Amino acid sequence: MKRLRLCVFGAVQGVGFRPFVYRLAGELKLSGWVLNGPFGVVIEADGNPEVLELFARRVLAEKPAAAVIAAAESVWLDAAGFSGFAIKASEAAAAPSAWLLPDLATCPECLAEIQDSGQRRFGYAFTNCTLCGPRFTIVTAIPYDRPNTTMRGFAMCPACRAEYENPSDRRFHAQPIACPACGPKLWLEPESAGAPIARAAELIRGGSVVAVKGIGGFLLVCDARSSAAIRELRRRKRRSAKPFAVMFPDLAAVRADCAVSELEADWLGSAAAPIVLLRRVPGGAVAAQAAPGNPCLGALLPYAPLHHLLMRRLGFPVIATSGNLSEEPIVKDNEQARLSLKGIADAFLMNDRPIARHADDSIVRLSRGRQLVLRRARGLAPLPLRVGRRLRPVLAVGAHLKSTVAVAWERQIVLSQHLGDLETAASLEAFRAAVADLRGLYGFKPEAVACDLHPDYASTRLAESMGLPVVRVQHHHAHVAAAMAEADIADPVLGLAWDGLGFGPDGTIWGGEFLRVDERGYSRLARLRPFPLPGGEAAVREPRRCALGLLYAAGMDLSRVEPLFPRNWEAAARLPGSASLAPQTSSMGRLFDGLAALLGLRRVNDFEGQAAMDLEHAIEADAGAYPFPLREGEPAVADWEPLLAAALEDFDGGTPPGVVSARFHNALAELAVAAAWRAGLPNVVLTGGVFQNAYLTERAAQRLEAAGFQAITHQRLPPNDGCIAAGQAFVAGLARTDA
C-alpha cells in the first residue's frame, strides 16, 4: 500500500471536480480525501500502487468538461491509513498565487493550427491558448491578467478580443493571446532576404550557430549531427566538455538516438516538456561531441510554436543549449543578447515579446521507476510544493551552487526557478533580482529569512542585510529537511546527506554526513573519515588533489599520483601536510573525485561533478562490494581506507576500472544499510548531489528496502543544492509554529 498526493492546477474549482474525484475513488475502492486548496485541487489516496496510477491517469483524462487542467504533479508517500474517501473543507484561498502557473508546452490544438494553411495563425510563432504558452516568464504582477504581463504592450485585434471574451472558446481569458495581426513579431539579425525562420534554418543547416529567443531566454542552436559545428560552439561558449542538450524534431527522432521508456516518452511530451536524460543507442545521428564520453544524452522536444516551426523546416536534431557564457545566467533580453552573445552566435532570431524573468529548461531523469528532477525551472517552477505541516511566512535564500530561493507559508513552499551558481557578477545580480521578484510577485512579507551557515556566501550576506530575524540552517540539515518536506515525514529520519561540500558548525567542510533529523533539529550520528583537500577550493576542480589527500591521510605512497602533476610535483606533495593549505573534509563527493583520479578516469574537471560522472559511467559489472566499515564513536566514522586499499590492489592487479567502480558503488550502498541498522530508524533519506547518481540511488534504496527500511528519495525537488532553499524554508517555517 502507498499514498499518492496529486495536485492539479488550473481552472479546476467550481466545476464539479471534487465530486468527480470522489466518485472515481469510490469506483476504484480507494480511501483518502480531496479538497480545494489555494493553488488548485489537492488529492490524497491510499491504495495499491497500480490502482493509484490508474486513478491518476483517469483523473486527468476524464475530468469534468468545464475543467481546464494546466498542470499536475504527483508525489508518492507512505500509506496514511485513511478510512473511506471524503471531500474535505476547502482551505483558505491565496488569491495572489491561484493563477501563477509555469510555462506550458504547445498543446495539440495550437500545434495543429500553426500547421494548417487555412487558419489565421498558420506559421505564427506566438500561438497559445488557456492550455499552453508562457505564464511564469511573462507575468509581472498578480492577479494574472494581461495588463500584468509583458503582453500589455500588444493591443488585441477584434478577432483575438472576440476569442478572449467568449466563454466557449479555448482562448477565453488566455492572457498571452495573440495573432499575426496584433501580436509579437519575429526578425533575424543580421537582416537577410527571406522569412526569418526559413533563413535561420538555412544558417543552422550550413553549420552556423543561431541564438533563438524562446520562452525563458535565448537558446544557442546548431546542427547536432555536425562535430565541427559543436566544437566551434564549445570554443566560443568556453564549455569544453559539459554535455549539451539536444532538441529533436519528434519522438521518433529521439528513439533513433536513445532508448526511451514509456514514462520517459510521457515526460518528453508533457506540458512541462523538460530535458530528459536518456541512454544513447549505437548508430544515432547526434555527434559524440554533444556529450563527450557520456553514455547519456539530454533530449527534449520542441515546446514553443517557434521551435516546432523551426524544427519542421530542419528535420534533424539540434544542439539547444542556454544562451550564456559559462557560469552566467541565461540571457533573456534582446540588447543583452546582442552584447553577451556577440562572438558566440552568428545570427539572432529575435522577437519583441519581453521576458519578465529568465528560465532555463528543466532536467529530469528516471530513477527508481519514477521521475527525479535534477533542475527545476521552465515548466515546473513555480508550482508549489504542498507540505503536511503549517509553516510561518519565511523567505529562504538557498546555497551558493545551483542556487534557488523560496517562500513558504501555511502548507506550501514555492521555489524559484533554477538561478545557477553565484560565481559571477551577472549571476549575483540575477539572484538578488529573483529574491525581490518572488517577494514582490506574491506580495510576501516574511517573518524571518533562512540562509546557510557559511558566513561568506553571497546568499548569507543578503539575508543578513534584510533587517529580518535570520535563521541559519546547516547545509546538510537543509538537504534532509527538503526530502522530508517532499515525503511528508514528521518522524525522525536517518539522513544520508552526501555531496561535494557544505559548511559545518565546527568550521570544517562537511559532505559525507549521517544525520538524525526531526522537526526540532539534527544531530550528527556519523561522518565520512576526514582527509585533507590540498589547495582547498582548487581540489574541487582537480580530482588529482583529492587523490593526493586520500593517499596522504592513509599513509600510502604519494608517488602513485606523481604522473598526475607533470609540473611542480614537489610543491604539490607538500600541500597535504599543511593545515592552512589543505583543510580537512568529510566530503563523499571528493571521495568520488579522488578514486576517479586514482583509476585514471579524470585528472582535472572541466565542469562540476565531471569526475563523479565518469566513475558512474564506467560501471561495468555488479561484482561484489569493497569493505567500508563504520567505526564506533561519537559520531561514528565511515572509514574509507580499507575500501581504498582494496580498490587500488584490484586496479594494480589488472581489474578494469569499471569493475572497481561497481564494487565502490556497492560498498556505499552497504554502508547505507550498516548506518541504518546503527541508527535504528525506519526511514532513511538519500539526498545531496552524490544521489544524482542513478546507479547508487537505486542500489542503496534496493539494499535498504531489502533490509526492512524505507528509502526516501527526492521526486519534485533536486537532490543537489537546488533543494537547499526549500529545506531551509521548511526548517525555518516550522520554528515556533503549531502543528
Task: For 218-233, give the DSSP string.
Answer: EEEEEETT-HHHHHHH
**Length in residues, the chain:** 739
Residue 340 has pLDDT above 60, yes or no: yes
pLDDT in tens, 100-118: 789 999 999 999 999 999 9
Q: Which among 636, 684, 643, 687 is positioned nearest to 665, based on CA atoms? A: 643
For residue 721, pLDDT beyond 90: yes
Q: What are phi and psi of 319, to 5 degrees?
A: -65, 135
Of the candidates 376, 394, 396, the one whose C-alpha atom is nearest the C-alpha of residue 459 is: 396
- Is residue 259 within 8 A of residue 278, CB to CB? The reply is yes
Q: Mean pLDDT over residues 570-591, rounded?
A: 95
77: β partners: 3
> Is residue 671 in a domain?
yes
Asked, for residue 331, whether it belongs to a domain, the answer is yes
Q: Does residue 116 fall inside a structural domain? A: no
Which CATH number fits the domain that encloses residue 85? 3.30.70.100
* pLDDT of 636 strictly over 70: yes
Residue 343 sits in the same domain as residue 384: no
Once rounded to an integer, what is the mean pLDDT over residues 710-717?
Answer: 96
pLDDT band at 424 (very low <50, low <70, confident <90, very high): confident
Give a yes or no: residue 367 inside a domain. no
* Cell numbers standing for residue 52: 493509484
Residue with the three cell numbers 593549505: 581
**Do 315 and 385 belong together in one domain?**
no
How many domains does the chain fold into? Answer: 4
Single residue among 295, 318, 351 that ends a domain in this structure: 351
Contact 527, 634 (CB under 8 A): no
- Nearest CA to 442 out of 140, 83, 91, 117 is that of 140
DSSP 345-384: BSEEEEES---SS--PBPEEEEETTEEEEEE--BTTTT--
The separation between the first and the last C-alpha atoms of the chain, rounded to the nearest angstrom, is 26
Q: How confident is the model at residue 442 (pLDDT cuts 50, 70, 90)?
A: confident
Do 232 and 326 fall within a single domain? yes
Q: pLDDT per residue over 683-694, tens digit each?
A: 999 999 999 999
Q: Please state, in angstroms and rounded to a whole number, the distance separating the CA atoms of residues 284 and 433.
A: 42
Query: Any long-range contacts for 286-291 (C-beta under 8 Å, 24+ apart)?
Result: 286/224, 286/225, 286/246, 286/257, 286/317, 287/224, 287/225, 287/226, 287/227, 287/230, 288/227, 289/227, 289/230, 289/231, 289/234, 290/224, 290/230, 290/243, 290/244, 290/246, 290/319, 291/243, 291/244
Output the nine-digit C-alpha cell for 425.
Answer: 557578477
Cα separation, 700 vs 697, whole angstroms = 5
Q: Is residue 22 part of a domain?
A: yes
Average pLDDT, the chain: 94
Residue 125, C-alpha cell as written in the block: 510563432
Phi-psi region of 536 (alpha: psi -120 to 50; beta: other; left: phi over 0): left
Residue 585 near residue 476 (C-beta atoms within 8 A): no
Query: What is the percentage of the chain residues whose pLDDT exceeds 90?
Result: 85
555 C-beta neighbours (distance < 10 Å), count:
8
Q: Residue 128 in contact with residue 164, Cβ under 8 Å? A: no
DSSP category for residue 107: P
**3-class secondary-structure state, position 660:** helix
pLDDT of residue 97: 45
* Cell 579524470, located at residue: 602
| Helix residue spans in 443-514 (DSSP H) | 458-464, 475-487
Cβ of 66: how many Cβ atoms within 10 Å?
Answer: 12
The secondary structure of 615-649, three-state, reads HHHCCCCCCCCCCCCEECCCCEEECCHHHHHHHHH
Dist CA 83 CA 76 (whole Å): 19
Above 50 in pLDDT, residue 95?
no
What is the tens place of the pLDDT at every residue in 293-338? 999 999 999 999 999 999 999 999 999 999 997 778 899 999 999 9
Instruction: Tell me if residue 299 falls in helix, strand or coil.
Output: strand
389: CATH = 3.30.420.360
Quick one: the chain helix, strand, coil %, rounded to 5?
35, 25, 40
Between 581 and 99, whose confidence is greater? 581
Closest to 676 (Cα-Cα) out of 686, 687, 665: 686
pLDDT over 80 (residue 140): yes
Calculated CA dihedral for residues 547, 551, 552, 555, nearest 10 degrees: 180
Verify that 378 and 322 share a domain, yes or no.
no
475 or 145: whose pLDDT is higher? 475
pLDDT at 423 over 80: yes
Which one-letter DSSP state was computed for residue 288? G
For position 336, which CATH number holds?
Answer: 3.90.870.40
Residue 464 CB partners (closer than 8 Å, separation 6+) = 451, 470
Asked if 401 and 608 count as a contact pair (C-beta separation under 8 A), the reply is: yes
Domain that holds residue 60: 2-93
Residues 395, 487: one domain? yes
Q: What is the pLDDT of residues 486-541, one digit of tens each?
A: 999 988 999 999 999 999 999 999 999 999 999 889 999 999 999 999 999 999 99
Question: Do 592 and 672 belong to one domain?
Answer: yes
**Cell numbers given for 331:** 540571457
With contact defined as beta carbons under 8 Å apart, do 381 and 461 qualify? no
Same domain, 193 and 317: yes
Q: Is the pLDDT of residue 737 over 80?
A: no
Tell how far CA 559 is from the center of its chain.
Answer: 40
Residues 596-611 pLDDT 10s = 999 999 999 999 999 9
- What are the distances in angstroms from CA 288 to CA 21, 281, 285? 48, 12, 9
Residues 417 and 346 in one domain: no
User: Taking the CA of residue 277 as centre, how many other CA atoms within 13 Å lie in the half-sphere pointing to its CB?
Assistant: 20
Kindly report the CATH number assigned to the domain that includes residue 687: 3.30.420.40
- Using alpha carbons only, give the angle 623, 497, 5 rounded to the nearest 5 degrees: 100
The model's pLDDT over 364-409, given as tens digits with 9 standing for 90+, comes to 999 999 999 999 999 999 988 999 899 999 999 999 989 999 999 9
CB 717 within 8 A of CB 486: yes
Tell me whether residue 163 is in a domain. Answer: no
With H, G, I as helix, E, B as strand and everything else as coil, classify residue 410: strand
In this structure, are 388 and 274 located in the same domain? no
Question: Which residues, 6 or more positions from 555, have their beta carbon under 8 angstroms from its beta carbon?
Answer: none
Q: For residues 363 and 392, is the Cβ–Cβ distance under 8 A?
A: no
pLDDT of residue 430: 87
Kindly provide the residue ranges of all beta strands, DSSP E only, lying in 568-616, ordered along the sequence: 584-585
Q: Is the pLDDT of residue 98 over 70?
A: no
Residue 483 domain-assigned (yes or no): yes
| pLDDT at position 739 | 36
Q: Same domain for 667 and 725?
A: no
My answer on whether 595 and 674 are in the same domain is: yes
Residue 571 has pLDDT above 60, yes or no: yes
Task: Judge if 399 and 478 occupy the same domain.
Answer: yes
45: β partners: 4, 32
**Which has the closest alpha carbon to 226: 294, 278, 290, 275?**
290
Residue 259 lies in a domain: yes
Categorize the per-residue pLDDT at 92 as very low, low, confident or very high, splitting at 50, 70 and 90. low
